[in-house]
Structure 1
Amino acid sequence: MQEQSIGAMLAAARQSAGLTVAQVSAATRIREAIIHAMEQDDYGQCGGQFYARGHVRAVARAVGLDPEATVHLYDQEHGGAPQPVRAAAVFQADKKINVPERRGPNWTMALGVALAIVVVFGMMRVLGGSGDHVQTAGVRQASARPSVPPNTPITETPKPSKSASSKSMVTVQIKAKRSSYVNVHDAEGRRLFSGTLKAGKTSTWRTPEKVDLVLSDAGAVSVLVNGKRVKGLGGRGEAVRRSFEAPKQPTRQRAR
């Protein structure tokens, strides 16, 4: 019999303990999306091996598994435990530290800089008119990317390629009857959506060629592909992975 993976062990232990992913998330303070990904053996959202080992230990303790034994199995699957770093390699006591000599403030230089600032500001006011705003040509201010709060689905809109208009498109619509984790990727592996789709919500994605879909609870959602409902997707609590391809375009024959 083939042994279970770490993710399958965590999922089976959680279900045996009668816990939901939300309850495990509240107990460990780990986002639900990361726990769902870990149960699918995807540790890319953990932020590296160090944090992945910590997440495995915390989730194993919450679902009733032996934390150290589970981390040991994780290390065996991912190349062994990280090597410890010697303190001597970090702190070199024999290295001489040069402390710059403290000097008094250079008032002459400070006065010169202040005078230059006043002159430049006056020239800008004269050249720019009576307005208080300084116009810059061809310069756009870059807006900071908003931070994603915990338990918020991550949605990325793929950039349309030049040949997208000539490719067949596939449209996938998912409606959640109960809250369920959903992961959607396009044909090139770009993430279109990753997170929990709340009960009663409906989301639609349209992309060329193919859509790869991962559902943590197939019985909690209904799926329409190009307007047709997908039957036999899966039962309650069943995790499934499906791919849906766009309909092939008819080839045009040349007129003789």
Structure 2
Amino acid sequence: MQEQSIGAMLSAARQAAGLTVAQVSAATRVRESIVQALEQDDYGQCGGPFYARGHLRAVAKAVGLDPDATVHQFDQHHGGAPRPMRASAVFQTDRQIHLPERRGPNWSMALGVALAVAVVFGILRVLGGAGDQVRTGDMHAASARPSVPPNTPITESPRPKPTVLSGKNVVTVRMKAKRSSYVNVHDAKGRKLFAGTLKAGKTSTWRAANRVDVLIADAGAITVHVNGKRVTGLGPAGQVVRRSFGPPKPQSR
């Protein structure tokens, strides 16, 4: 089985986030045609690998994927990351530098330059007087102390206690990736529990009340257990599936 392509992961993540190509383009300032090309693994419109990495990083962040992992996967399929340029390739030290011969000082030219500098300095002093006063006023205004009552006690707001899930309405979903695939997990209220790439060999578990909604970009790459029981028949390899799982049913006496 081949690993899911970058374009398929971007498309599945965008659909899971409920975004259109136009919305992704507006959020990233990447043209819609380039966003569509990236979802089809076509990098010809990017203008080279350097710009392709930048577009991939921006689009991946907008749809909820890991930008660094996405660019790393692109580098693995396109010759690796660019090598840093050595300083010796930019600066060539073997060239001989020819310095002009030292001659005696030219006092006439030095006197002329000194007079010109004095004239310019005097003009700037005359014209810049008002500007100096304005800048001084700005500095006094900026250095004014904030009006905060002295000896004011600093109180910290209490931190919320973590919610402990318990009871019969709790749903437990555990996923194990046979190969890397994009996964999106939400609870019954639509809150995101996870959105990203579940890498090959990794196992993750989520718990929520009443219901857990999942989206899997590659149904054949993920093994799912709900409330301790394995879920069968998710779908073939490469298929994007959406499923909802509820709490375990009470056993009849």
Please give the range of the TM-score, normalised by the shorter of the 2 chains. Answer: 0.3 to 0.5
Greater C-alpha radius of gyration: 2
Give me the TM-score of the superposition, normalised by structure 1.
0.37
Give me the TM-score of the superposition, normalised by structure 2.
0.37
Higher helix share: 2
